[in-house]
Structure 1
Amino acid sequence: MKLLRNREMYISLMLMSFISCVAALCTYLFYRELVLPVLVLCALFIILHIVPSYIKYREIKKLSADIDKILHGEENINLENYNEGDLGVLQSEVHKMTVRLREQQYKLTQDKIFLADLLADISHQIRTPLTSINILVSMLSDPDMTYEKREQTIHKLYGLLSRIDWLITTLLKMSKLDAGTVRFHREDVTMKELLEKACMPVRVPIELHGQELILVSDGEFSCDIAWSCEAIGNIVKNCMEHTPDGGTITVSGSCNPLYSEIIITDSGSGISEEDLPHIFERFYKGADSGEKSGFGIGLALARMIVTEQNGTVKAENGQNGGAVFTVRFYKGAV
């Protein structure tokens, strides 16, 4: 009998049988006429013990089998049929554990897919400038190359190496934000000082393209200055890359009791309707991205930085054409 293979049930049954035999023997010695009723009563007690135990252990065995199926990857397992006593409590806890394990498994699967796609994107983004670098290096080995041509080639090499360095640095910053290891330190700063500092790295390229940068600022607010400058600077850089030579980029900042707002506009052709939903995605580049556009991670990094500081960033097209980026840092919970 399978039930007797259970050590607990075997000991319990043997103990009850021993007690029944002792009771029957004592009854036989002192009250022989009650031997049969005592044996019947003892047998009834044993049956009443075995039957519920058998049902309980059968349910436990079924639950164990279902758990084993879940561990082997089966999805369509119903754990809602166990609803009595302590077994029901056990079922409830196992069900919670199963749901949690499935969620973790799904998240791990998504993380693996994301990591694979990320590595593919990174390798693709780095391979392009590396290919150009290999070509330029092979050109430098030409002994007949003129001095002027050699200088131009070296200048191109420096530019490509700078792009790769910027890509790696930005990816490291995004990795820190993804891992949650960045600690933002809030400092009080005037809007004018923040915008001046954020736009400083792009002032020279803007002048080289003959573009005009207009800064309008008012008020002050609290933020992590370094990271906020990184976010705003990336947006301004994106506007510069999509604004024609001689165009205008306007950065205006203001504050109110609810939030601090920075609006960045350009006089370019704007953002296509197909690109708008994906503009802040990592490595996304629109169909009209030109040669001077970046790797498609500047805006993604900007959104991560703003979001981590209880803010929002939105991209849209202006009424008079051109792109409009609205950044808001909220002073309370959004």
Structure 2
Amino acid sequence: MKIIANREIKYLFYAIVGVVGSFCLLTEIGVWFLSRNLRALILIFILFLLLLLMVLGLCYRYFSRQNRMLENAVDQINAFLDGDIDARIACDEEGEIYRLFHSVNTLAAVLSAQASNENREKEFLKNTISNISHQLKTPLAALNIYNGLMQEEVKCISDIQEFASLSEKELDRMETLVQNLLKITKLDAGSIVFEKRMENVEELMKDVELHFAYRAKQDRKTLTFTGDDSLMLYCDRDWMMEAIDNIVKNALDHIKEGDFVHIEWRQFSSLIQIQIKDNGCGIHPEDLHHIFKRFYRSRFSKDIQGLGLGLPLAKAIIEEHNGTIEVDSALGEGTIFIINFLIPTKL
């Protein structure tokens, strides 16, 4: 019998037998000295024996039930350790042992959540490494081709200059990928301290215009800005510029010659809104819910230069400023990105 194998339970049974037996013996001695009645002694002995058997029976039944509960708990724990993350111990009643079971179930739930998170992180890391490898493969292959051509076939200075220029573009592409990866990684790790202060939005937009004016002119695309010249935004200037630059760059990448990108900012009662609108080809409805995912590449997009990091980085920066970003688009009509920042209030 398993319950008797438990030393403490065994000692309890011994104690019960000893107490009942001692009380029976003392009672027998007392009755004998008082009455000298043998039949009474036998009757008292039988009654004490029945009492002892009943007490031992009840104890055995109770400890047997407790033993079954513990064995079931051990089975569930072993099942959890063997990989069944849904294994739990039944703990629907009250009592100290059920509190223990509940704590074990809570621990199992926490461990399951951590294991699930670790699996998602491993999968994310695997996909990220795969995407980085894919993104680096194209410029590296191009660089190898250009280098081989310059070494073996190209003799004209103008051709060498052309391939050197192409190589520089591929190197810039790789540098952009690495820099954006570092920025996103720092944001994920929470290692960036934003130096926020009140900034004039129009001055921010002037820097954006300065950044993209030459490119827009070269590509024959129009870049326009409108908004309140006194509007102030509480932000980290450099990081906010990074976010807006990425969105504007994305817009310029997806419009053709003669199209426009228009940036507008305004204040409402409780928020500041920045809109970046273009009249380009638009975003396919299938892609609208995925454009902020890292390395996402649409099967409908003809863009082969995009890295899939600009918009996710912009979104992360905006959210670090307690802002939100939304996108609305129609195929053939254009796209609008709407950025909202709540205005801090003093209560």
Taking structure 1 as the reference length, what is the TM-score of the superposition? 0.91
**Local SS of the residue matching 1:141:** helix
Distance in 2 separating the partners of 1:199 and 1:102: 50
Please list every run of 5 or more consecutive structure 2 residues that lacks an aligned counterpart in the other structure: 33-40
**Local SS of the residue matching 1:328:** strand
2:68 matched residue in structure 1: 58
1:197 matched residue in structure 2: 207
2:152 matched residue in structure 1: 142
Query: Deviation string for 1:220-270 (max 9, x for gaps)?
Result: 121122211111100000011111123221111112231111111123222
**Local SS of the residue matching 1:278:** coil
Distance in 1 separating the partners of 2:101 and 2:208: 57
Query: Would the aligned equivalents of 1:247 and 1:268 in 2 still touch at CA under 8 Å?
Result: yes
Query: Deviation string for 1:266-324 (max 9, x for gaps)?
Result: 23222222222222221123345445642121111111111222211111226992211
The equivalences for 1:223-242 within 5 A come to: 223-242=235-254
From 145, 156, 180, the counterpart of 1:170: 180
Task: Compute the displacement of 1:35 (Å).
Answer: 3.3
**Local SS of the residue matching 2:289:** helix
Query: Deviation string for 1:27-76 (max 9, x for gaps)?
Result: 34333523333333333333333321221122122112112112212255
Query: Would the aligned equivalents of 1:189 and 1:222 in 2 still touch at CA under 8 Å?
Result: yes
Task: Report whether the alignment pairs 1:294 with 2:315.
Answer: no
**Local SS of the residue matching 2:66:** helix
Task: Report whether the alignment pairs 1:131 with 2:147.
Answer: no
Indicate the larger mover: 243-252 or 152-161.
Answer: 243-252
Query: Deviation string for 1:69-124 (max 9, x for gaps)?
Result: 12212255463464242232223222322322222222222222222111111110
1:260 matched residue in structure 2: 272
Distance in 2 separating the partners of 1:292 and 1:187: 38
Distance in 1 separating the partners of 2:135 and 2:272: 35
Query: Would the aligned equivalents of 1:199 and 1:233 in 2 still touch at CA under 8 Å?
Result: no
Mark the CA change 1:89 to 1:156 in structure 2 (over 3 Å): closer, same or farther: same
Taking structure 2 as the reference length, what is the TM-score of the superposition? 0.88
Q: Provide the alpha-carbon RMSD of the alignment.
A: 2.4
The equivalences for 1:306-317 within 5 A come to: 306-317=318-329
- Greater C-alpha Rg: 2
Indicate the larger mover: 250-259 or 125-134.
Answer: 250-259
Query: Aligned pair count?
Result: 333
Indicate the larger mover: 167-176 or 11-20.
Answer: 11-20
2:35 matched residue in structure 1: none
Indicate the larger mover: 229-238 or 154-163.
Answer: 154-163
From 109, 122, 126, the counterpart of 1:99: 109
Query: Would the aligned equivalents of 1:220 and 1:255 in 2 still touch at CA under 8 Å?
Result: no
Indicate the larger mover: 174-183 or 3-12.
Answer: 174-183
The equivalences for 1:9-158 within 5 A come to: 9-32=9-32, 33=41, 34-75=44-85, 77=87, 79-80=89-90, 82-142=92-152, 145-158=155-168
Mark the CA change 1:200 to 1:144 in structure 2 (over 3 Å): closer, same or farther: closer
1:328 matched residue in structure 2: 340
1:209 matched residue in structure 2: 219
Identity, % of aligned positions: 27
Distance in 2 separating the partners of 1:45 and 1:151: 102
Task: Compute the displacement of 1:22 (Å).
Answer: 2.8
From 277, 282, 295, the counterpart of 2:289: 277
Distance in 1 separating the partners of 2:260 and 2:88: 63
2:38 matched residue in structure 1: none
Indicate the larger mover: 120-129 or 279-288.
Answer: 279-288
AA at the equivalent of 1:313: I
Query: Would the aligned equivalents of 1:318 and 1:324 in 2 still touch at CA under 8 Å?
Result: no
AA at the equivalent of 1:239: A
Task: Compute the displacement of 1:332 (Å).
Answer: 5.5
AA at the equivalent of 1:317: S
